[in-house]
Structure 1
């Protein structure tokens, strides 16, 4: 027998060792077969019928006068009839989405936008049964709708806890993308507590699960088969999936459900401040070692924050004992607070910690501050590259500035331009000091030591915001 060199054994061991991590990793990948089989029946398909379009909403149309032997005659008769009227069934529009059963007696959850304007809502289960649903209530802010169908012993989904989710954890979505029923897609949790421009009171779960039109309202499951979110939005430049999907945390959803079932409406806590993130430059200007908290850019008149003496320039660092790492963390905390509850705020105010007591109000339906801009001719430039001037009574009324402030009438290349200031801005505070008029603004600016980074509070059409400017 021919002897086998020792190094051959070593090579074989090395190869096996190199392969083992890959083999171990492949065995660790989740198997979704049982999860889909067990939870698929709780997922439903939802279609709606909207109210017929009024004839006055349609453009006038008349069948053209064509020769009898024209091949277009049959076409126009088929689609428009002899008199050019559209068939009745074409006056019904349908929307398609997903949902899931949360109780054996027929409570169903979906997105509010799926059933918006619906005259009739049809729920189809996985075993092909169809039910006409009753709309119990909707909450547009969280995009949740609660439906009720008549049934007994229906397969209800298990409700989990979104707060227990971890970034990187596997999740599964089941729904009807583009009308393809009972489609399952999987991915991981990409991030938690996402604040979107459309809604900052909802701490969305971001995933890379493939979500497309028709998945809206469907459940997001964890590996335990528990619903941890309701698929609601996607980020897309094409209308299709691009790797960014957002789900409403089930904890938020079930709070909405409880309120809809008990009171028929949803109320949220309200503080009444416009806030922004604390950047590195702003943190330096406020004397902070590192950026954290929510910087108050504006306190709304008549709000709980105004009653509690919160001021522009305050940095909210804790809310009821909970740390505020970034500004996006504050609105969800306020939103889930009961109306009328008294909470403690800890704010950083001109280098000192201040404790405030505030009574939570109810979030109004819509808060919006708007103002028109004007651009008078330039007056004089200053050391940070701004042309500023006094605000006339007419401009003050247009810009909704009650008192104080100076108007930015022009910006030239320099620190202010780099910080993002533009013509039409109203400067209300500079270096933590209120700006009363042009003389006061110049006095504050002249006293600032060169090389310092200072905070500037600016009012614009879309609200108030601090900017950090490094004085040259």
Structure 2
């Protein structure tokens, strides 16, 4: 009893003793001012990294000529090493977009549709800097491209400030985001980007494919939605004409997305804003393009029919077709299997499977879980290379061996070859390019042939071929799908 009495007295004393006053709630205006400071601070730190891009384009341009190493119209240099035509002539152009500086050497990330088909690119940056630029790499599947200032005698390199790249996978619905770009070509006049802000409406938006905006995809049934489905960020910010290729920035001042107004779907959300995300897969693509290299995507070789509708009772994760000699065929997948997960991550429909597989590079291995007749099975598949359609630009390519460049044989499977779709060989690499007059050309090698052996060693991926021929000095015997061919030194 005495113990309980002591506890009661102690509790009473504690209740009657002095209390610390609770902090006063901040005034509403203080909260608004604090948010305004965070918003304006993020804009101030990043707006200098956003540039305006003008494109000169021939009427029926079928090829991008403003590419490093390609001949194109010569530029006229004024007294100060800048284009001689006044900036006002550029400002009234109706062919424009935006870009974001991402590298210390002036690399600028933009949307490919902003620069596709260009004969000349003119960039206006912060401080009224103006310079010509050229493409070093572009990927039609992600609609991303990287351009750099043209270098040469009499040309001073521009003073550009790169923007740090963040991770969009940490964003949540409702995250505050800033969009910076070149609406209505306003930034081409003075190099000052325009800003808008809002919240993230959707972290994985599916957007209907518009054939007029994405003609490069043709009539591919799988292109009914944008190729980077379903990973577009949807913003409630309204992105006007000219915002394509602009920056989506978080309040830390990091690039978390690249705006692509071409993603506006027909029939709904007509003025919604969309952006390519800087998630791990997106950052990998950007870093690859920044190095001037081709972005490679994974392929396993399964298909679904394109006749699914509201009344179709078939599961969305059902395999309807397995391509011959594909990773799926070699992994013994069957029509009717239901795919469940990739490396432990659920894949509930073809879109999620496509994104998971595409995030891997050719040669990677994945664990695919499938359901077959009520039993769960796991198959390990070696990823092949997805045949990207359209104008792939890569100025930093592997060195040719005796005038020969090879690639993954899976490129033979989907319409990349000029003579139409074909079933790739069960083993080997595809001849991608043969330089005219080279030893490979004289030996009779031609594009889209398959090489199964080199110098007596089996080759299955380009890395195998490179190792097999690396130390060869004299004639080298290649076993191809058209018989043995010997390539001289």
Q: TM-score range with shorter-chain normalisation?
A: 0.5 to 0.7
Q: Provide the rounded CA distance (Å) in 2 between the counterparts of 1:117 and 1:216.
A: 16
Partner of 1:271: 300
Q: 1:279 Cα shift?
A: 10
Partner of 1:317: 340
Partner of 1:44: 51
Q: Provide the rounded CA distance (Å) in 1 between the counterparts of 2:31 and 2:312.
A: 45
Partner of 1:66: none
Counterparts of residues 315-464 of structure 1 (less than 5 Å): 315-366=338-389
Partner of 2:325: 302
Further displaced range: 224-233 or 261-270: 261-270
Q: 1:156 Cα shift?
A: 1.3
Partner of 1:188: 199
Q: Provide the rounded CA distance (Å) in 2 between the counterparts of 1:327 and 1:368.
A: 18
* Structure whose residues are more often strand by fraction: 1
Write out per-residue CA displacement over residues 327-373 of structure 1, whole angstroms, 9 at most, x where no aligned residue.
3222121111121122111111122111112111000134779xxxx
2:287 to 258, 264, 289: 258
Q: Provide the rounded CA distance (Å) in 2 between the counterparts of 1:200 and 1:317.
A: 22
Structure 2: runs of 5 or more not aligned = 1-24, 62-88, 152-156, 188-192, 208-223, 390-412, 416-489
Q: Provide the rounded CA distance (Å) in 1 between the counterparts of 2:302 and 2:334.
A: 9
Partner of 2:409: none
1:166 pairs with 2:182: no
CA RMSD of aligned residues (A): 3.5
8 Å CA contact retained: 2:365, 2:380 = yes
Q: Provide the rounded CA distance (Å) in 1 between the counterparts of 2:102 and 2:373.
A: 50
Q: Provide the rounded CA distance (Å) in 2 between the counterparts of 1:22 and 1:298.
A: 60
Q: 1:199 Cα shift?
A: 2.7
Q: Provide the rounded CA distance (Å) in 1 between the counterparts of 2:309 and 2:378.
A: 23
Q: Provide the rounded CA distance (Å) in 2 between the counterparts of 1:170 and 1:163.
A: 14
1:208 to 1:274, Cα distance in 2 relative to 1, 3 A: farther
Q: Provide the rounded CA distance (Å) in 2 between the counterparts of 1:241 and 1:346.
A: 36
Q: Provide the rounded CA distance (Å) in 2 between the counterparts of 1:179 and 1:261.
A: 25
Counterparts of residues 192-211 of structure 1 (less than 5 Å): 192-196=203-207, 197-202=224-229, 203-211=231-239
Tell me how many residue pairs correspond in the alignment: 308
Further displaced range: 302-311 or 182-191: 302-311
1:236 to 1:280, Cα distance in 2 relative to 1, 3 A: closer
Partner of 1:139: 139
Q: Provide the rounded CA distance (Å) in 2 between the counterparts of 1:321 and 1:53.
A: 47
8 Å CA contact retained: 1:105, 1:152 = no
- Which stretches of structure 1, 4 residues or more, deviate above 6 A after TM superposition? 19-25, 276-283
1:317 to 1:25, Cα distance in 2 relative to 1, 3 A: farther
1:49 to 1:187, Cα distance in 2 relative to 1, 3 A: same
1:179 pairs with 2:175: no
1:187 to 1:297, Cα distance in 2 relative to 1, 3 A: farther
Instruction: Give TM-score, length-normalised by structure 2.
Output: 0.56
Q: Provide the rounded CA distance (Å) in 1 between the counterparts of 2:120 and 2:50.
A: 19
Q: Residue 295 of structure 1 aligns to a residue in which SS?
A: coil
1:280 to 1:237, Cα distance in 2 relative to 1, 3 A: closer
Q: Residue 136 of structure 2 aligns to a residue in which SS?
A: strand
Q: Provide the rounded CA distance (Å) in 1 between the counterparts of 2:55 and 2:292.
A: 25
Q: Provide the rounded CA distance (Å) in 1 between the counterparts of 2:302 and 2:241.
A: 35
Instruction: Give TM-score, length-normalised by structure 1.
Output: 0.58
Q: 1:193 Cα shift?
A: 2.5
Structure 1: runs of 5 or more not aligned = 1-18, 55-88, 287-292, 370-472
8 Å CA contact retained: 1:343, 1:357 = yes
Q: 1:194 Cα shift?
A: 2.8
Higher relative contact order by CA 8 Å / sep ≥ 6: 1 or 2?
A: 2
Q: 1:184 Cα shift?
A: 0.9
Counterparts of residues 200-239 of structure 1 (less than 5 Å): 200-202=227-229, 203-233=231-261, 234-235=263-264, 237=266
1:315 to 1:279, Cα distance in 2 relative to 1, 3 A: farther
Q: Which has the larger radius of gyration?
A: 1
8 Å CA contact retained: 2:387, 2:414 = no
Q: 1:38 Cα shift?
A: 1.7
Partner of 2:163: 157
Write out per-residue CA displacement over residues 277-323 of structure 1, whole angstroms, 9 at most, x where no aligned residue.
9999988x87xxxxxx7322222333221221212222111102222
Q: Provide the rounded CA distance (Å) in 1 between the counterparts of 2:31 and 2:311.
A: 44
